[in-house]
Amino acid sequence: MGETKKVRYAGRFGVRYGRGIRERVLKVEEKQRKPHKCPNCGFKKVKRISTGIYKCRKCGAEFAGGAYTPSTMTGRIVVRMVKQRKFVPLMKELLLTTEGAEEQAEASETKEEEKEEAKQE
């Protein structure tokens, strides 16, 4: 099974799975196979090794990314959120409670209890 005019190399599936799905496979695989830009050296030499794993053929940098492309929409959003440090206050709270600061943990617990009581009222 080779290439077809309509779905190109997704023609390897023959007539199976339906035209819509074969078209979708073509779209994903085009993105997956083209060389991507390396976040380390900037050359367009990044290739997909396996699901979510990419390697630069120029500088040898290996990194994780999306399943079919090195960066995804949701991945970029998460990176931006981490950069903006929206999670830092939450992390501090978490560290304080897990590091055995019992007094503060108790204090926060009583606060939460108070809140719950307020809600009930």
Residue 55 lies near Zn ion (rule: CB under 5 A): no
What is the C-alpha to C-alpha distance for residues 96 and 87, in angstroms, rounded to an integer? 14
- Closest Cα partner for 8 from 27, 24, 26? 26
| CA–centroid distance for 101 within its chain | 34
CB of residue 39 to Zn ion, shortest distance in Å: 8
40 counts as binding Zn ion under rule CB under 5 A: yes
Q: Which of 12, 26, 29, 59 binds Zn ion (CB under 5 A)?
A: 59
41 scored as a contact of Zn ion (CB under 5 A):
yes
Q: What angle do CA 39, 41, 44 make, to 5 degrees?
A: 75
Q: How far is the CB of 58 from Zn ion (least distance, A)?
A: 4
Q: How far is the CB of 31 from Zn ion (least distance, A)?
A: 19
Contact in structure between 93 and 109 (CB atoms under 8 Å): no
Among 25, 55, 58, 72, binds Zn ion (CB under 5 A): 58
- Residues near Zn ion (CB under 5 A): 38, 40-41, 56, 58-59, 61
